[in-house]
Amino acid sequence: MAKDTEEETTGRKASWKQDPEAVRADILRVATDEFAAKGLSGARIDDIARMTKASKRMIYYYFTDKEGLYQAVLERVYSTLREDEDRLKVEDLSPVDGLALLVRATFEAHAATPMFIRLVMIENIHNAEYLRRSEIVPRLNRSIIQKLEDVCARGKAEGVFRETADPLELHWLISSPSFYNVSNRATFSTSFGTELFGPEGQKRLAQRVVDMILGLVVIGYEPGQVRVE
């Protein structure tokens, strides 16, 4: 009841700094969580607004609509990931060790960013509609292929890699277990238990993936020849 309507406490913030970038970033941060958790249709703009310092109005001010916000989230996450990729230095290693490092790093990078994985899953549910629409994303992801090309070229030149080794195929072969390891953890462990997803199991899986890839590419490779960690 309390009828202090006379108060008319217009809830306007008494004072604020003009900091568009910070507001934008905060919205994106919250929206990333929300979209990753509930998907595009499941996410609620009102929930995002509530969790943000900014008001709901600002979401539309900066991102036009829900899809615009989703697209921005997607692009930011993809970009962030590329930076991590670029940090890898494989040129200094032997082809075998370089490839092993790429495999291990990919496996671990996926495991470390479940949020990114979820957004990619969601985007695939939407048939990559928003990824395709993006100008910035398609030309990302190139660096990892580049690294694989370098390693493959050196490995073949040194005669330690099979001539059949193909960078794009390899990227696919390395990504698939790394991605699946995170994306399908819930259903897999429901059906078959969690033993593969503890610290032990994860190390074993990483080792298996390294062994599989090197076994395919490196002439005369024996499982366990290169150890993970």
Q: What is the DSSP letter of 7?
A: T
Length of the chain: 229
Q: Which of 17, 43, 42 is nearest to 30 (CA)?
A: 43
The answer to the question of residue 50 lying near DNA (CB under 7 A) is no
The answer to whether 52 and 30 are in contact (CB under 8 A) is: yes
DSSP codes of every residue in 41-106: HH--HHHHHHHSSS-HHHHHHHHSSHHHHHHHHHHHHHHHHHHHHHT---TTS-HHHHHHHHHHHH
Please pick, from the candidates 38, 56, 76, 156, the single residue that binds a copy of itself as defined by CB under 8 A: 38
Binding pattern for the stretch 81-100 against a copy of itself, x by CB under 8 A and - elsewhere: --------------------
Neighbouring residues of 13: CB distance < 8 A, sequence distance ≥ 6: none
The token duo for 24 is 């934008």
Question: Binding-site residue total for DNA (CB under 7 A)?
Answer: 29
Q: Which option in a copy of itself, DNA, none does residue 34 bind, with CB closer than 5 to 8 A by kind?
A: none
Which of the ranges 60-68, 71-79, 148-156, 184-192 carries the binding residues for DNA, by CB under 7 A? 60-68
Q: Which option in a copy of itself, DNA, none does residue 125 bind, with CB closer than 5 to 8 A by kind?
A: a copy of itself
Give residue for tokens 């499982």. 223
The token duo for 133 is 């629409």
Helices and strands of the chain, counted as H and E runs: 11, 0
Of 107-146, binders to a copy of itself (CB under 8 A) are 118, 120-128, 131-132, 137-138, 140-141, 145
The answer to the question of residue 8 lying near DNA (CB under 7 A) is yes
Q: Which option in a copy of itself, DNA, none does residue 153 bind, with CB closer than 5 to 8 A by kind?
A: none
The answer to the question of residue 185 lying near a copy of itself (CB under 8 A) is yes
Of 69-128, binders to DNA (CB under 7 A) are none
- Region of 193 on the Ramachandran plot (φ > 0 left; ψ -120 to 50 alpha; else beta): left
Of 28-47, binders to DNA (CB under 7 A) are 43-46
**191 C-beta neighbours (distance < 10 Å), count:** 8
The answer to the question of residue 56 lying near DNA (CB under 7 A) is yes
Which of the ranges 20-28, 36-44, 64-72, 88-96 carries the binding residues for a copy of itself, by CB under 8 A? 36-44
The answer to whether 67 and 31 are in contact (CB under 8 A) is: no
Q: Which residues bind DNA (CB under 7 A)?
A: 8-20, 23, 43-46, 53-58, 60-61, 65-67
Q: Which residues bind a copy of itself (CB under 8 A)?
A: 38-42, 118, 120-128, 131-132, 137-138, 140-141, 145, 162, 164, 168-169, 171-173, 175-177, 179-181, 183-193, 195-196, 204-205, 208-209, 211-213, 215-216, 223
